[in-house]
Every structure is written in C-alpha cells, then in structure tokens.
Amino acid sequence: MTEPMIESIRIRNLDEADREAIATWRYPGALSIYDPGCSADQLRAPDHVALSSADGALLGYGTFGAEGRVAGGRYDETALDVGMGLRPDWVGRGLGPAALSRLISYARLQRGAERLRATVADANPRAGALVRDLGFVPAHRFARAADRRAFTQFEHDEDSERVAAFIRDGYWPLRGVVAPEIVAACRRDVTAALAQAGVDDADPTTWTRPVVRLDTPRTDAMSQVRNHPRLLSICDRLLGPGRRRPRHDLGGTTPVRFPSPEDPGDAGWHIDGSYDVGGQWWTNVFSKERGLLLLVLLSDVNEASAPTELLVGSHLDVPRVLEPHGRTGTLFDAAWLPASTFERARVLATGAAGDMFVCHPFLVHRATWPHHGARPRALAQPEIAHDPPFSLEPRPDLHPVEHAICKALASHGRPVPRPEVSSRGGADD
Ligand SMILES: O=C(O)CCC(=O)C(=O)O
C-alpha cells in the first residue's frame, strides 16, 4: 500500500479484530517500550480509536485522556492527552505526520479539546521530531516512575498550526496587533528621519533615489512595536523561553523605497548576516547573534510598492550550506544554494502598516523593484537576538527555530556540527 494522505486516513471505533491485532504488536529495539503490553480487553475503553486507510485496513490507533499519560509526568485537566501507535510495519515510512494530524483535528472537532498534550520517550527522537513538526512545544521533562526512563511532555494549542507553518515555511505573519495610534506615530517617526536625510515623503520632487536606508528611529512608538506582548510571546515560543535578548529600541535599518524605475542596487537574494567580521556581516549554522529576523511594515505595502519577496521554506536549504563553515561562519552567498531553492514558492510581504513577518533567521528574501506605486514604502528589519546560542544538539526540548535547523541538517544527511564548548559553556564565544 502507498502512503495514505491525511484526507484518506479514517478514524473509527476499534473492532474486535483490531483489538486482537494490536495486542500482538511488537516494536523493534528501543521502541519496544511502546509495545501495547495489554490484552484486547483493555483496548475496549472508549478512549481508543482506530486509524484506518480508506479501504478500512488498520494503520494504527489513537488514545485520548488518561491512556496517553505516563506515570511520573505533570498532568492536569487543562489539556487532553493524545497518544498514537502505528502498526509496526508502518513505522518509519512517513505515515506519522498525516496520522497525528488526523488525530489532532479529531480531538479538536469531535472532542472539543482546545489544548492537547503528548508525552514522548526521549529514546524515540523520531516521535519527538514528529510532534515538534506539528507545532507541539516542549513543556516538561521527567523520569517515568517505573524505570526512570526520560520522557518529555509537549503541548499543542491554538498557535500550534502557526508554529508548524513557521517550521515548514520559515515565517509567521502577524497582522493587526499594533494599535493604530502607535502605527501612526511610527510613520511620523519615519517622516521625521527622512526629513533629516533631506527627503520630504510628501513631495515627489525630493524622491531622487530609489532607496534611502535609515537607521530605525529610536523612539517610544518603535520601542512599543518591538516590545508588543503578542510579538514577544511569539518570539519566546519560537526561540524557547528565556532565550530572547531583551531590547528597548526596535533596531535594524529601515530601507524606504520610492516610486522609481531605477535598480536600487540592493535587491539580491540573501539572508541577513548577524555578526560583524571586519566590516562584513557574517553568519554561521548556529545562527550566532540572530534568533529571528523581523520584517515590520512601516507603511502600507502592496504588490506595486516594492514589497520584500520571501522564498517559502528556503530556511531549510541554508543550514547545509553554512554547516561546512562551522563555528567561524562565513559571509553568506545565495549563489551557493541549489537551483531548487529558487524554484520554491514565493510570497510577497504585503500588508498594512504595523503588520509584521516574524521570520526564521535563514529565510532567503530580497527587495524587489521597480516600485510602481504612488507612495514611499518603509520597512524595518531588525533582528531578535538570542542567548545562549543554539547548540544544535538533537535534544527533546528543541524549540522551533533550532528544530528547523536540525531538521534541515538531518534531511540532507549532514552530521549535526559539534560545537566546541567554550569556558562559558556555550557554543559561541
Ligand atoms: O527593503 C526590502 O524589501 C528588504 C531589504 C533587505 O532585505 C535588506 O536590506 O536586507
């Protein structure tokens, strides 16, 4: 049988033959901790469901509630526990994402669960990667009461689909969260900074260059954007709690692009460098100094007004190019990327002033031209720095930015680089 897609995976009650079959399932090696180890009678509880193909063949089973818990964990009733077992001959064949996605939507739609929890043995890194890919975030690690084996509890909530899309696509659009009066103040700040550069943003006769690059104004309004609680919570979610380096000002540069047929000279595909080496902005596979790239629209931006263009999923192509440069890193050159990167879907970062795109630091993007619109277009592009740096060790508690880098390296069969440990214990000094 070929791999079923999520639409063709069915959920139904377990029948007697299913229960008899599951009770005999045995998994190889370290996965034997998942052997059902129960009688067909125990599988009679209503919290078990069958996962089947469209033609009714049993592919696996799901459990909800207490059945998905492991003694020693920290459980409460704020989330529904979900567990899954695949038929042993289906393990490792790519069925997991579709099967678990099916259980998640069933839990939400049929069981009304807003929050889900999954408990995964650390000895099963494939299951850990699967739940992280679907937007679960690690919440608690513990030792199983019976044998002290390590397990991690992961949680899934209303943001998890966005997290999964971030891991897959490399960005999270965040629209309409900044209050209109703060957006208006930011626009006035850009106008004032342009005036200092000799440009009147209301007077086209002063628009003599296709782009003017400002240092993002250090104002209260910009600082409120940077420190918007929703943005901060998304950054923490993507980087891991306590990892984001606090910063008062918004930071970065703000290129302002003007209606013009001229090549601005800065519109090549790239990722943003993150640390200064002799006046050049380098980066390394650990994404030293840059946890995230933020694109903040400081004017309305549409298709005509030179929007930034993003290569969807390209953050998964960059790690293998950076990995040979190790901890020292390099001045990144997009020409090193495979041709397939440039065949990826493209998205324009359009929207209303105040909208943001929270991007993976390795997302390949570029400015576009010509600007056919009527009004200047302004965009701040600060970094969100993080500390400590990513170690890229395949730990159970990887958060999405680091998980995406590890996933990209693993999918290309690259060894995960071993950081030298400095005297401060970090990968990076
Ligand atoms: O102005 C833009 O659209 C993006 C510019 C950019 O990516 C950069 O300057 O690094």
DSSP for 44-112? GSTTEEEEE-TT--EEEEEEEGGGG--TTS---TTSEEEEEEE-GGGTTTT-HHHHHHHHHHHHHHTT-
142 and 263 co-located in one domain: no
Query: 215, 263, 270, 381: which to mutate for ligand 1, most atoms within 8 A of CB?
Result: 381
Computed over every residue of the chain, the mean pLDDT equals 91
Contacts of 110 (CB under 8 A, 6+ apart): none
Distance CA(306)–CA(293), nearest Å, equals: 19
The pLDDT value recorded for residue 412 is: 74
Whether the pLDDT of residue 292 is over 80: the answer is: yes
Q: What is the pLDDT of residues 323-332, one digit of tens each?
A: 999 999 999 9
Contacts of 348 (CB under 8 A, 6+ apart): 303, 307, 308, 309, 310, 368
Q: Which position has the higher pLDDT, 66 or 345?
A: 345
Domain boundary among 135, 158, 181: 158
Six-digit token string for 407: 């996933």
In a domain, 164, yes or no: no
Domain boundary among 129, 158, 187: 158
Number of domains in the chain: 2
* Residue 429 confidence class, pLDDT cut points 50, 70, 90: very low
- Nearest-CA residue for ligand 1 atom 5 is 367
285 and 250 co-located in one domain: yes
The pLDDT value recorded for residue 6 is: 61
In a domain, 1, yes or no: no
CA of 210 to the centre of ligand 1 (A): 13
Whether the pLDDT of residue 75 is over 50: the answer is: yes
The pLDDT value recorded for residue 426 is: 28
Under 8 Å between Cβ of 112 and 80: no
390 and 349 co-located in one domain: yes
Q: What is the pLDDT of residues 131-186, one digit of tens each?
A: 999 999 999 999 999 899 999 999 999 999 999 999 999 999 999 999 999 999 99
The pLDDT value recorded for residue 395 is: 86
Distance CA(395)–CA(414), nearest Å, equals: 17
Instruction: Please list every protein residue whose CB sits less than 6 Å from any atom of ligand 1.
Output: 255, 266, 272, 308, 365, 367, 379, 381
- Nearest-CA residue for ligand 1 atom 7 is 366
Ligand 1 atom nearest to CA at 266? 9
129 and 89 co-located in one domain: yes
The pLDDT value recorded for residue 394 is: 83
231 and 342 co-located in one domain: yes
The pLDDT value recorded for residue 421 is: 31
Whether the pLDDT of residue 2 is over 60: the answer is: no
Under 8 Å between Cβ of 284 and 329: yes
Six-digit token string for 190: 């850009």
Six-digit token string for 334: 């997009």
The pLDDT value recorded for residue 94 is: 86
The pLDDT value recorded for residue 4 is: 57
User: The domain that contains 65 carries what CATH number?
Assistant: 3.40.630.30
154 and 173 co-located in one domain: no
The predicted model gives 43-66 an average pLDDT of: 88
Give Cα separations from 328 to 270, 403, 404, 422, 428 (angstroms): 19, 21, 21, 13, 9
67 and 103 co-located in one domain: yes
User: The domain that contains 314 carries what CATH number?
Assistant: 2.60.120.620
In a domain, 426, yes or no: no
- 3-state class (DSSP) for residue 147: coil
In a domain, 429, yes or no: no
The pLDDT value recorded for residue 372 is: 96
308 and 329 co-located in one domain: yes
Whether the pLDDT of residue 40 is over 70: the answer is: no
CA of 388 to the centre of ligand 1 (A): 27
128 and 275 co-located in one domain: no
Q: Which position has the higher pLDDT, 176 or 394?
A: 176
Whether the pLDDT of residue 52 is over 90: the answer is: yes
The pLDDT value recorded for residue 296 is: 98
* Residue 67 confidence class, pLDDT cut points 50, 70, 90: confident
- Taking alpha carbons only, the member of 18, 7, 152, 147 closest to residue 74 is 152
- Nearest-CA residue for ligand 1 atom 1 is 367
- Nearest-CA residue for ligand 1 atom 2 is 367
The pLDDT value recorded for residue 411 is: 86
Whether the pLDDT of residue 424 is over 60: the answer is: no
CA of 150 to the centre of ligand 1 (A): 44
Q: Which domain holds residue 288?
A: 169-411
340 and 249 co-located in one domain: yes
Q: Which position has the higher pLDDT, 66 or 41?
A: 66
* Residue 378 confidence class, pLDDT cut points 50, 70, 90: very high
CA of 392 to the centre of ligand 1 (A): 28
The reported pTM is: 0.88
CA angle 191, 195, 201 (to 5 degrees): 50
Q: What is the pLDDT of residues 204-263, one digit of tens each?
A: 999 999 999 999 999 999 999 999 999 999 999 999 999 999 999 999 999 999 999 999
CA of 295 to the centre of ligand 1 (A): 9
In a domain, 61, yes or no: yes
* Residue 423 confidence class, pLDDT cut points 50, 70, 90: very low
In a domain, 419, yes or no: no
280 and 176 co-located in one domain: yes
Domain boundary among 130, 158, 186: 158
The predicted model gives 72-82 an average pLDDT of: 96
CA of 159 to the centre of ligand 1 (A): 28
Q: Which position has the higher pLDDT, 394 or 109?
A: 109
357 and 229 co-located in one domain: yes
In a domain, 379, yes or no: yes
Under 8 Å between Cβ of 392 and 419: yes
CA of 202 to the centre of ligand 1 (A): 22
In a domain, 324, yes or no: yes
Ligand 1 atom nearest to CA at 379? 1
The predicted model gives 283-289 an average pLDDT of: 96
